[in-house]
Amino acid sequence: MRVGVPTETKSGETRVAIAPAGVHALVARGHEVLVQAGAGRGAGIADAELDAAGATLVTAAESWDADLVLKVKEPQPEELGLLRGTTLFTFLHLAANPALAAALAAAGTTALSYDTVQLADGSLPLLTPMSEVAGRLAVLAGAHHLLSPHGGRGVLLAGVPGVPGARVTVLGAGVAGSQAIAQAAALGADVTAIDLSLPALRRLDERHGGRVRTVVSTAHAIAEEVSGSDLVIGAVLVPGRPAPKVVTHAMVEEMPRGSVLVDVAIDQGGCFEDSRPTTHEDPVRAVAGSLVYAVANMPAAVGVTATRALTNVTLPYVLRLAEGVDDAVGADPALAAGVNVRAGRIVHPAVAAALGEAPAPA
């Protein structure tokens, strides 16, 4: 099989969908790997390393002329003309992107999304490492923008002896939320975790020895906690569906001036009413005296770390797909759950529902 790896074109994106080890593994199995020249630069991977592993360095168009195309982020508008009836494996987040869903269907692309590959226990093995990265980065981004020179209210996340640390509220106790909670607590912040799941809150309480406040999620509880927070991190995820809007504009208006909100769920449309996608180059918007950070590819800030973490988990699935997409999907229910578009139709039930369509048979 011909496996293509284009350079990512999303603003500020530094990751790449394959590492030299993945190239070597595919080539050893008789596949041809076409990597766009320079694709690994942002992740600290030189063309020479990919070449030595057996890749053929090609142009952007040539990297898309493959049986299986591997990417990190969803195709950008300038790439839609390169779509064809091949297989695409990447983060898609189609519930928040009906135009892309339509383009994939029109091109006859078989599109699998990393974020809907789901194991029997409900876990998302390909999203997990990026959620871990984003959760930790959310705290660092929040701490950075709380500084006065960056427009924040001048609060040190950790505080100092005699002065308490920042009040941090984390909405969601899944992978990203748990990582954000742990990071903020380790830095000395006053942390409150809000989630619908009592078992999840119990796990947090045990893990942090009662040092993190836990609150069951209701609109009233969220409003109460948000209003007194210096930093709010939204990490609410419903696989395949748009994120629910849990923080309203009215809540933001009650926050201290110069407070910061970080929306980790922005890829799925965001969980704050005021969220609009931002970029690493221009990461925050001023809203009602607060700053809203909603960068849609947060892990790209640490391209070396994030690429290694992502390719560690994607490679086993890539190897199976390269042996035959139909066989791989048919043999693995987790991978089958990753199929979003096939034969011109949306086949993932949650994605179809989010787009107002009936799912086609997979």
Q: Which residues are catalytic?
A: 93, 267
Pair of tokens at residue 316: 């086993």
Pair of tokens at residue 37: 């020249």
User: What is the rounded distance in angstroms from the CA atom of residue 205 to the CA atom of residue 125?
Assistant: 24
3 state DSSP class of 283: coil
| Adjacent-strand bridge partners of 34 | 4, 56
Give whole-number Cα distances, 195 to 209, 246, 298, in Å: 18, 11, 22
**C-alpha neighbours within 13 Å on the C-beta side of residue 251:** 26
- Backbone φ and ψ for 345, nearest 5 degrees, come out as -135, 150
100-119 burial: b if 16+ Cβ within 10 Å, else e: bbebbbebebbbbbbbbbbe
